Amino acid sequence: MTSHFALQWNSYTNNVCEGFCSLQKNGEFVDMTLAADGHFVKVHQLLVALSSPYLKSLISSAPCQHPVIFLNYERVGKIRLTAIIYTNVSNSTLMLLLEYIYTGEVLKWHDKTTQWG
Protein backbone atom coordinates (compact mmCIF):
# COMPACT_ATOMS: atom_id res chain seq x y z
CA MET A 1 0.00 0.00 0.00
CA THR A 2 1.40 3.37 -1.07
CA SER A 3 0.75 6.42 1.06
CA HIS A 4 0.95 9.96 -0.22
CA PHE A 5 2.45 12.83 1.68
CA ALA A 6 1.78 16.50 1.03
CA LEU A 7 3.66 19.39 2.55
CA GLN A 8 2.73 23.03 2.00
CA TRP A 9 4.66 26.11 3.12
CA ASN A 10 1.93 28.75 3.49
CA SER A 11 4.28 31.73 3.71
CA TYR A 12 6.71 30.51 1.03
CA THR A 13 6.39 33.55 -1.25
CA ASN A 14 6.77 36.04 1.60
CA ASN A 15 9.74 34.17 3.07
CA VAL A 16 11.54 33.95 -0.27
CA CYS A 17 10.94 37.62 -1.08
CA GLU A 18 11.95 38.80 2.39
CA GLY A 19 14.92 36.44 2.30
CA PHE A 20 16.25 37.87 -0.96
CA CYS A 21 15.80 41.43 0.37
CA SER A 22 17.73 40.54 3.51
CA LEU A 23 20.48 38.78 1.55
CA GLN A 24 20.87 41.79 -0.74
CA LYS A 25 20.96 44.30 2.12
CA ASN A 26 23.62 42.22 3.88
CA GLY A 27 25.61 41.62 0.69
CA GLU A 28 25.22 37.85 1.00
CA PHE A 29 25.39 35.52 -2.02
CA VAL A 30 25.39 38.47 -4.41
CA ASP A 31 26.95 37.75 -7.79
CA MET A 32 26.65 40.95 -9.78
CA THR A 33 27.24 44.69 -9.30
CA LEU A 34 25.17 47.52 -10.73
CA ALA A 35 26.70 51.00 -10.77
CA ALA A 36 25.23 54.45 -11.36
CA ASP A 37 26.38 57.96 -10.41
CA GLY A 38 29.46 56.56 -8.66
CA HIS A 39 27.40 54.24 -6.42
CA PHE A 40 27.90 50.47 -6.57
CA VAL A 41 25.16 48.05 -5.51
CA LYS A 42 25.68 44.30 -5.22
CA VAL A 43 22.68 42.29 -6.38
CA HIS A 44 21.57 38.79 -7.35
CA GLN A 45 21.77 37.99 -11.07
CA LEU A 46 18.84 35.60 -10.76
CA LEU A 47 16.38 38.26 -9.59
CA VAL A 48 17.67 40.91 -11.97
CA ALA A 49 17.45 38.49 -14.91
CA LEU A 50 13.93 37.43 -13.97
CA SER A 51 12.80 41.05 -13.75
CA SER A 52 13.79 42.14 -17.24
CA PRO A 53 14.57 40.44 -20.57
CA TYR A 54 16.86 43.40 -21.37
CA LEU A 55 18.88 43.03 -18.18
CA LYS A 56 18.90 39.26 -18.66
CA SER A 57 20.51 39.73 -22.09
CA LEU A 58 23.15 42.05 -20.59
CA ILE A 59 23.94 39.49 -17.90
CA SER A 60 24.05 36.64 -20.43
CA SER A 61 26.51 38.50 -22.63
CA ALA A 62 28.88 39.42 -19.79
CA PRO A 63 32.24 37.63 -20.11
CA CYS A 64 32.64 36.85 -16.40
CA GLN A 65 30.92 35.24 -13.41
CA HIS A 66 30.42 38.49 -11.44
CA PRO A 67 29.62 41.19 -14.01
CA VAL A 68 29.72 44.88 -13.20
CA ILE A 69 27.16 46.84 -15.18
CA PHE A 70 27.54 50.61 -15.31
CA LEU A 71 24.15 52.17 -15.92
CA ASN A 72 25.44 55.63 -16.82
CA TYR A 73 28.82 55.83 -18.50
CA GLU A 74 29.30 59.60 -18.26
CA ARG A 75 30.19 59.44 -14.57
CA VAL A 76 32.33 56.30 -14.57
CA GLY A 77 35.63 57.90 -15.54
CA LYS A 78 38.56 55.63 -16.37
CA ILE A 79 37.69 52.56 -14.29
CA ARG A 80 38.78 49.27 -15.86
CA LEU A 81 36.79 46.20 -14.92
CA THR A 82 36.15 42.83 -16.51
CA ALA A 83 32.58 43.48 -17.66
CA ILE A 84 31.25 46.95 -18.34
CA ILE A 85 27.99 47.53 -20.15
CA TYR A 86 26.53 51.00 -20.67
CA THR A 87 22.98 52.27 -20.55
CA ASN A 88 21.55 55.53 -19.16
CA VAL A 89 20.05 55.23 -15.66
CA SER A 90 20.66 57.49 -12.64
CA ASN A 91 21.44 56.10 -9.18
CA SER A 92 18.08 57.30 -7.81
CA THR A 93 16.29 55.43 -10.60
CA LEU A 94 18.49 52.36 -10.04
CA MET A 95 17.47 52.31 -6.37
CA LEU A 96 13.79 52.49 -7.35
CA LEU A 97 14.27 49.66 -9.86
CA LEU A 98 15.97 47.50 -7.23
CA GLU A 99 13.21 48.25 -4.74
CA TYR A 100 10.72 47.06 -7.34
CA ILE A 101 12.77 43.97 -8.24
CA TYR A 102 13.28 42.90 -4.64
CA THR A 103 9.89 43.83 -3.13
CA GLY A 104 7.47 43.92 -6.06
CA GLU A 105 6.46 47.51 -5.42
CA VAL A 106 7.72 51.08 -5.38
CA LEU A 107 5.95 53.49 -3.08
CA LYS A 108 7.67 56.71 -4.18
CA TRP A 109 7.68 56.18 -7.97
CA HIS A 110 5.84 59.44 -8.76
CA ASP A 111 8.81 61.52 -7.55
CA LYS A 112 11.12 60.11 -10.23
CA THR A 113 8.90 59.69 -13.30
CA THR A 114 10.45 62.57 -15.23
CA GLN A 115 13.44 60.41 -16.18
CA TRP A 116 11.12 57.87 -17.81
CA GLY A 117 9.10 60.39 -19.83
The tens digit of pLDDT for each residue in 25-77 reads: 999 999 999 998 889 999 999 999 999 898 898 889 888 889 988 887 554 45
Q: Is 36 helix (H, G, I), strand (E, B) or coil?
A: strand
- pTM equals 0.75
Q: Is 104 within 8 Å of 17 (Cβ atoms)?
A: yes
Phi-psi region of 4 (alpha: psi -120 to 50; beta: other; left: phi over 0): beta
- Domain spans, the chain: 12-115
For the chain, count helices (H), then strands (E).
4, 3
CATH 1.10.287.3510 for domain 12-115, yes or no, is no
Class of residue 43 by CB neighbours under 10 A (exposed 0-12, middle 13-18, buried 19+): buried
The tens digit of pLDDT for each residue in 97-106 reads: 999 999 998 8
